Structure 1
């Protein structure tokens, strides 16, 4: 079966033919803002703010987002960022930028 399939021409499609260039640019701008904000407000606060706003923006492409759903997402983001913050600072002893809010 593998020998037969090796002679067949593969169906190739453009990996990035679908999607929005606007979403790519907005995502890149979010990460650029995150990189700048880390120095001012610290890793934890800037990560929660930027990831939450990015989740909200990208979710709007498919549906409306209620306040209840967004609150749940923000709680998940806070938990995940807090988890990674603790892993890096306590377990790996890698200092992360604290900023003036922490």
Structure 2
């Protein structure tokens, strides 16, 4: 089994700003270890004669013309906002002091 540590899970949770309980850390440590092991097994089986794919069925993008339609005025867009300065939405900061 791959060696994913509790410290690594705690570090990743901190980067993602996800609060995890001790039980969740234990669960995630085990689950992430299984995921890494599964990827390693696939790498063992993958051969050079099998092309890499991102999807089992070929996909094609469907494009449409980019046509300007009716849009909201700034006043209409801001009418339901909890806080604004007359021309922009006002929101609280999302970055911590370490940023």
Same fold (TM over 0.5): no
TM-score by length of 2: 0.35
TM-score (norm 1): 0.35
Whichever of the two has the greater Rg, that structure is 2
**Which is richer in helix?**
1
Q: Which has the higher contact order (CA 8 A, sep 6+)?
A: 1
